[in-house]
Amino acid sequence: MLVSANWLQDFLSEPFTESERAHLGDTLTLHTAEVDAVSERGGHLAQISVALIEAIEPHPEADKLQLATVRINDENAVQRVVCGAPNITVGMKVPYAPLGTSFPNGLTLEPKKIRGVISEGMLCSAAELEVGDDHSGILALPEDAPIGRTMTEHFNVESDLVVDIDNKAITHRPDLWGHMGIARECGALLNKGFKADRFGSEWQAKMDGQMQNDSPSPIGVAVKDGTCCTGYFGLSVDNVKVEPSPQWMQERLLAVGLRPINNLVDIGNYVMLEVGGPVHIFDRTKISGGKIQIRQAEEGEKLLLLDETEALLTPEDTVVADTEKALVVAGIMGGEESGVTENTTEIFIEAATWERTPIRKSSTRIGVRTDSSNRFEKGLDPHLMRTTILRTLELVQELCPGAHVVGRLEYDGENLDELKAPTVPCSVTQINGLLGTHYTQEEIIQTLQGLEFCVSSDDEKMTVSIPSFRATREFTYMADVAEEVGRIRGYGSITPVSPKLPVTPVRRLPVHQIEKKIADFLPLHGRFLEVQTYPLIGEKGLEQTGWKSADPLLLKNPLSVEQDRMRPSLIPLILLAMRENAKHFESFRLFEIGRSYHSATKDGGYAEEQRELCLGIYSENTKVNPFRALVDVMEPLFEHLGVAVQCVETTEKFPHPLIPLDWEGRHPFATRSFNGYGKTLGEATEVHPLLLKSLKIRGRIALGVIALDPIAERVNKVSYPYEPLSRYPSAVFDCTVSVAPRSELEALASVMRRFKDKRVLDRAIVTEYSPSSEERYVTVRFRFGSKSETLSGDDIKSLENKAIAHLEKHGYSLKMG
């Protein structure tokens, strides 16, 4: 939310000093709410002045550019400016920015050649001056504007400081969604004195005097049961005239990021930003039946909104309607049909309060979020309605001098006089004890009164009455009072003391311990990089990856169709991520630890989520087998986790396959399951070439999934006894064997594992080579060694012969030549 320092000044008894103004952002961040940015506005206007165009020549090198000679002061000083705007004419007075002018967007004018001609400054549009949004041409100034007068003097505006407050930081503070609330904080923080009487009882009495209480309003008001409306004010005003707002109002709206439209629309926005209460203004002639009724929407009822979108409503939504149709989606946005136009002369002003939860749900359901809904979602002060509607009336009469009230101020809703201020008992000792401070009772009371809390005291005990603008959210405990004292006086002034608490290590849940082991193991032993994808996916993403999901978990209010459901597996998104990475890298390895989401397996049950590990290996070189590499990583990973598994061909014998048998990406000849605890704990497959082709991925990809929940439930603590590194060298033996072209390498790996000898330290498949469709060779590796001695040459030769014999015994003969 953007806040204008000049606007805040309306509610403060004393002006900001230069130091206070310069540090306003820091002050609010430390005491009230986080400030995202602070910027100066309008300072550049003092550098830009009125100039007279005396001559215009065509640009020698560009047909769409012109050279304007402008006189910039009464001493006949002239400058030559390159200009591309089509609307400049001789004798026209325009805003001229000289070299060195700094604009809010960071641009500083410097001498520069434009198509071969140096421009000695710039002629400005309304958008460049930030006094409007028209950038189609140079702003034409009045003929009587004195040459040399600055734009600050011409528009009668002052430079302003604009503070950008993070909306998330004030979600719990509905009173801070207007300049009045921020000014109250500034008054307490800087001892400036908040003008609480600006919209006090005397002002309200003056405005109430304009009501025609003896005559009914042309528009009656009725709040029906079952709606989220807690109170509704309505006021009819005649003889208004729609025209542009005065410059001072436009300047303030522009300063806080709103585009001026016309006086009535601008008044509504101005009041909302000033006091924090949204207001809506109807064209009264478009209200049928002489009655406003707040009711539940009908099923399937439609309303064309002011932003030209159509809202499809349900009975869970509340609408403001006349006797024939809905006019407004309550608390969110008005309808196009009842909005004011340039011909409007009779208006009906609405100020209401709504329950915050239904407004948030309706806003989310119809996909429309507005400044009004943002405020109503927070829970506004019911007493703010009256201030809002009276302030609106005051501005309407100021901007439309002939406007007058017709009838009385209509109201329906809860009795505001019966809303009593809640109280919180506390004491000086309690507050100081909680904060760790030594504030006196006088200091505490002074701080609270600066925020408009009423405090009564008896010795050190106090009773704090909570003002209505703070009572809409829970404010019931002594700690809430202490927080107000602490933040206003400054947490930085509290002497830090180390807490006296027992320090015990945090014990991780078994599944978190497993995740930590995996995250440590894969980068170190498998050269994997961890990624994180979104837990949401769309139907298109599932279709692209060939994943079938019969009963998806759909979101009620998705942000986009690309993310409208929970992912049924980690595979589709990590496969899409690998497609993007394959455009830039020849090979890589990725893994992700996350959750997959599944619909309830039986009626009345709940949706389930499962923790999984997904691994992917990509190689652009089709001669490299990523599937074999993946299996070689997953086997030691299970061993590292202390889980005994069997690596077998995938069958339907074991329940809950992690990679569905009907997935289009499942390879018919390169798939393995890792079974343990009587179920499938992990699966690996090479992605089918046809799916890779449809995804336009060149090369080969292997994917694996491991279910972490069953492992976390059953895994025992595995102790790893200390084992020193061997002091004796090892020997590596490679040999190449002939393998059937269509056979699985897992069979060869199984044969290698069955070669038993305590001097065999390691075994692995290294590479494979296929010179033709009828020939296939695989290089395997054995590592021999002993922990007690150095193996002799004869020992190594004996082991090599035994390994060859073992392989040949099982049908894997050595490649000769």
Band (pLDDT 50/70/90 cuts) for residue 720 is low
Shared-domain flag, residues 438 and 325? no
With 70 as the cut, is the pLDDT of residue 654 above it?
Answer: no
51 or 677, higher pLDDT: 51
**Among candidate residues 10, 453, 386, the one with its CA nearest the CA of residue 195:** 10
Shared-domain flag, residues 330 and 473? no
What are the Cα distances from residue 234, in Å, to 206, 406, 679, 806? Answer: 18, 11, 68, 95
Residue 485 forms part of a structural domain:
yes
With 90 as the cut, is the pLDDT of residue 41 above it?
Answer: no
Residue 746 forms part of a structural domain:
yes
| Contact of 745 with 630, CB cutoff 8 Å | no
Residue 263 forms part of a structural domain:
yes
Percentage of the chain with pLDDT > 90? Answer: 71
Band (pLDDT 50/70/90 cuts) for residue 78 is confident
With 90 as the cut, is the pLDDT of residue 393 above it?
Answer: yes
Shared-domain flag, residues 33 and 150? no
The torsion defined by the Cα of 211, 214, 219 and 221, in degrees rounded to 10, comes to 90
Q: Rg for the chain (alpha carbons), in Å?
A: 38
| Residue range(s) defining the domain that contains residue 454 | 423-491
Distance CA 65, CA 86 (A): 9
Q: What's the pLDDT at 113?
A: 87
**Among candidate residues 755, 760, 711, 716, the one with its CA nearest the CA of residue 737:** 755
With 60 as the cut, is the pLDDT of residue 425 above it?
Answer: yes
Shared-domain flag, residues 549 and 696? yes
Kindly write down the DSSP assignment for every residue of 575-623, as one continuous string: HHHHHHHHTT-SEEEEEEEEEEEE--SSTT---EEEEEEEEEEEESSTT
Distance CA 363, CA 454 (A): 36
| Contact of 799 with 760, CB cutoff 8 Å | yes
Of the listed ranges 352-366, 579-593, 739-753, 777-791, the least confidently predicted one is 739-753
Shared-domain flag, residues 48 and 38? no
The dihedral through the CA atoms of 749, 750, 752, 757 has a sign that is positive
Q: Which long-range contacts (CB under 8 A, 24 or more apart) does 256-262 make?
A: 256/1, 256/2, 256/3, 256/4, 256/7, 256/162, 257/2, 259/133, 260/132, 262/340, 262/342
Distance CA 70, CA 83 (A): 11
Q: Identify residue 34 by its one-letter amino acid code.
A: E
Q: What's the pLDDT at 376?
A: 95
Q: What's the pLDDT at 385?
A: 96
With 70 as the cut, is the pLDDT of residue 619 above it?
Answer: yes
773 or 182, higher pLDDT: 182
Residue 319 forms part of a structural domain:
yes
Distance CA 637, CA 621 (A): 25
CB atoms within 10 A of CB 767: 15
Cβ-in-10-Å burial (0-12, 13-18, 19+) of 389 comes to buried
Using the CB atoms, write b or e for 183-208: b if 16+ within 10 Å.
bbbbbbbbebebbeebbeeeeeeebe
Shared-domain flag, residues 564 and 543? yes
Q: What residues contact residue 493 under an 8 Å CB cut-off, 6+ apart?
A: 437
Shared-domain flag, residues 257 and 334? yes
Percentage of the chain with pLDDT > 70? Answer: 98
Shared-domain flag, residues 309 and 269? yes
Mean pLDDT of 620-637: 92
Mean pLDDT of 488-497: 90
Read off the CATH number of the domain in which 75 is found.
2.40.50.140
Domain closes at, from 369, 389, 418: 418
Q: What's the pLDDT at 714?
A: 81
| Contact of 27 with 190, CB cutoff 8 Å | yes
Q: What's the pLDDT at 214?
A: 79
Shared-domain flag, residues 520 and 622? yes
Question: Could you read off the pLDDT of 684-693 as tens digits, one per residue?
Answer: 999 999 999 9
How far is the first Cα of the chain from the last one, in angstroms, to the nearest whole number?
78
Task: Read off the DSSP letter of residue 194.
Answer: B
Read off the CATH number of the domain in which 804 is found.
3.30.70.380
**Among candidate residues 113, 109, 128, the one with its CA nearest the CA of residue 62:** 113
Q: Which two tokens stand for residue 95?
A: 């805003």
Distance CA 259, CA 282 (A): 20
817 or 207, higher pLDDT: 207
With 60 as the cut, is the pLDDT of residue 618 above it?
Answer: yes
Residue 505 forms part of a structural domain:
no
Read off the CATH number of the domain in which 361 is found.
3.50.40.10
The residue written with tokens 């009795």 in the block is 415
Shared-domain flag, residues 428 and 349? no
Shared-domain flag, residues 303 and 366? yes
Question: Could you read off the pLDDT of 293-314 as tens digits, one per residue?
Answer: 999 999 999 999 999 999 999 9
Number of domains in the chain: 6
Of the listed ranges 88-102, 119-133, 236-250, 382-396, the least confidently predicted one is 119-133
Q: What's the pLDDT at 73?
A: 85
With 80 as the cut, is the pLDDT of residue 716 above it?
Answer: no
Q: What's the pLDDT at 718?
A: 56
With 70 as the cut, is the pLDDT of residue 719 above it?
Answer: no
Task: Read off the DSSP letter of residue 190.
Answer: H
Residue 212 forms part of a structural domain:
yes
Q: What's the pLDDT at 534?
A: 95
Residue 722 forms part of a structural domain:
no
Distance CA 189, CA 181 (A): 13
Mean pLDDT of 427-436: 94
Q: What's the pLDDT at 653?
A: 64
Residue 725 forms part of a structural domain:
no
pTM to 2 decimal places: 0.72
Read off the CATH number of the domain in which 458 is found.
3.30.56.10
| Contact of 124 with 117, CB cutoff 8 Å | no
Band (pLDDT 50/70/90 cuts) for residue 817 is low
What are the Cα distances from residue 247, in Å, to 76, 244, 253, 539, 719? Answer: 31, 9, 10, 51, 78
| Contact of 204 with 387, CB cutoff 8 Å | yes
Shared-domain flag, residues 402 and 367? yes
Question: Could you read off the pLDDT of 493-549 as tens digits, one per residue?
Answer: 888 888 888 888 888 888 898 999 999 999 999 999 999 999 999 999 999 999 988
Read off the CATH number of the domain in which 556 is found.
3.30.930.10
How far, in whole angstroms, is CA 608 from its chain's centroid?
A: 26
Q: What's the pLDDT at 115?
A: 86
Question: Could you read off the pLDDT of 109-161 as tens digits, one per residue?
Answer: 988 888 889 999 999 998 888 887 788 899 999 999 999 999 988 887 788 89
Cβ-in-10-Å burial (0-12, 13-18, 19+) of 394 comes to middle
**Among candidate residues 519, 526, 614, 609, the one with its CA nearest the CA of residue 573:** 614
604 or 477, higher pLDDT: 477
- Calculate the average pLDDT of the chain: 91
Q: The sheet that has 2-4: what strands, in order across it?
A: 2-4, 160-165, 35-41
**Among candidate residues 807, 800, 667, the one with its CA nearest the CA of residue 750:** 807
